[in-house]
Amino acid sequence: MALQLVSSTSTTMKMALIGFVVLILLVPLTMLRGMVQERAGLREQAFQKVAAAGAGSLLMGGPILVVPTERTIVEASGSKLYRENLFILPQTLNTDID
C-alpha cells in the first residue's frame, strides 16, 4: 500500500505552501543583501584611500646644468685640490602639462 500524504489538495493549500516557502527563502536573501551592501561600502572606502594616497602635490623639475669645478688651495703644508659640482638652474621655467 502506497503512502499518499495528500490525495487531493486544494488550490488554496498549494498557494499557502508556496507563500510559506517564499517567506522562508526571503531570510537568506536579506542576509545576502546586507553582505552586498557591506562589501560595496568597503570597496568605496578602498577607492577613497587609493585616491587620497595618489593625489598629492606635484613637484616639477626643470633642466639643471652641472659644471664640474676644481680649486687648488695652497697651504703651508702643501696644496690641496678640491673638486666640486656647480649646479646652475634656470631663473624662470615655463611649462605646459597635459
pLDDT value of position 75: 85
In the chain, which residue ranges form alpha helices assigned H by DSSP?
11-54
Strand-strand pairing, 78-88 and 65-75: antiparallel
| Rounded Cα–Cα distance for residues 18 and 7 (Å) | 18
Nearest to 61 by CA among 21, 98, 97, 15: 97
Query: Quick one: DSSP state of residue 4?
Result: -
Core vs surface per residue 45-55: b (16+ CB within 10 A) or e:
eeeeeeeeeee
In tens, the pLDDT along 17-71 reads 999 999 999 988 988 998 999 999 999 999 888 877 766 667 777 889 999 999 9
**Does residue 15 have a pLDDT over 80?**
yes
The answer for 83, left when phi > 0, alpha when psi is -120 to 50, beta otherwise, is beta
Residue 8 CB: number of other CB atoms within 10 A?
6
Element (H, E) at 10: none
Look up the pTM and report it: 0.37
